Amino acid sequence: AENNPVPIEVKNQPGFFTIPRWPILGYLKNLAKKNSEEPRQEVTKFLIEFIDSIIENETKGKVDNFRTNETIIELISYLPKSEIKEKHINFVSTITETKLKSTLVAVKLKDYLIPRLLSIQAKDLLLTLFQIILNFKDAPKNSHKKYIPMFERYWLKKTLDQHSKAIGQLCGVSAAKIGIAKIKELAEKDKNEFSVWRIPCIEDHEQRIRNDEYAYIIIDFVRDILLSAETEAARDLLGELLIDSPEILRRIALHTINRRYNEFGEL
């Protein structure tokens, strides 16, 4: 881990960095992929020790090499089911706190880690991961927005569009509750984020101007989970949303009831 190369600031261009490649990472990816197909205990042990050393180092003092970080996400996804731990998921939280773009990390989450967790039905780990990737933060001072997602909007939307249905089927309303908590948190900070003039409709519609805005992304996540969630659990949650929630959550609940009227019409 001590050989993980640090970003190098570009001469005469403050704030711009080149991100060195660590040659060993290509070898480790190939090794991990082969080991996932033909597991060998000593190889698994070596990979875990390497992954954990990077995580420990990054937690103590940030190197912030996103090339290394995205490779670690891929390596984790190749580990045996029993070896993927909560600390590996929490590593995602550590590496989102970066001044550099997180595009490569987001892609590896979408294409490797989330599919892996779904395939092994790691419900609790998925819920932990979505607590992280659905977070938002203050926008930069030069932005016209107040709040933005932890990951680039484009990749967050792509990830949720691709996996929301499967997440809903595995995690049910537990996943929706994470999104609901984020909506409540954001609404408390700025009620205008979810005003009717800004969010004219819950369904996909041409009235939507910016489908990739964080507010829309989180609304769509909750909506899609509720549309696919198990009936009884969804009924209880919809009843709660109709009684005591910000207006936007009542609108999501009514949209769900309308779409699943045969199940929830009595609400």
Instruction: Kindly list the domain boundaries of the chain, sorted by start residue.
Output: 1-120, 134-267
Q: Please give the pLDDT value at position 209.
A: 61
Where residue 90 falls among pLDDT bands split at 50, 70, 90? very high
Q: Which residues pair with 147 in a beta bridge?
A: 138
Q: Percentage of residues in the chain with pLDDT exceeding 90?
A: 54
Check residue 211 and give its pLDDT: 59
Sign of CA dihedral 143, 147, 150, 151: negative
65 backbone dihedrals φ, ψ, rounded to 5°: -95, 105
**Is residue 14 a contact partner of residue 22, using CB atoms and an 8 Å limit?**
no
Q: With 90 as the cut, is the pLDDT of residue 180 above it?
A: yes
**Does residue 164 sit in helix, strand or coil?**
helix
pLDDT of residue 157 exceeding 60, the answer is yes
Instruction: Using DSSP, state whether 138 is helix, strand or coil.
Output: strand
Q: Other CB atoms closer than 10 Å to residue 267's CB: what's the count?
A: 15
User: What are φ and ψ of residue 148, in 5° steps?
Assistant: -140, 160
The residues pairing with 17 across neighbouring beta strands, listed in sequence order, are 9
The pLDDT value recorded for residue 196 is 79
What is the DSSP track for 23-89? THHHHHHHHHHHHHHS--HHHHHHHHHHHHHHHHHHHHS----HHHHHHHHHHHHTS-GGG--HHHH
Helix axes 214-228, 247-259, angle to 10 degrees: 40
For 232-262, letters b (16+ CB in 10 Å) and e give eebbebbeebeeebbebbebbbbbbbeebee
Indicate whether 175 pLDDT > 90: yes
Dist. CA 267–CA 253, nearest whole Å:
10
What residue type is assigned to position 146 of the chain? K
Question: How does residue 58 score in pLDDT terms, banded at 50, 70 and 90?
Answer: confident
Partner residues linked to 136 by β-bridges: 149
**pLDDT in the model for residue 202:** 81
Residue carrying the six token digits 């190098």:
8
Rounded to whole angstroms, how far apart are CA atoms 96 and 103? 10
Cα–Cα distance between 59 and 204 in angstroms, integer? Answer: 40
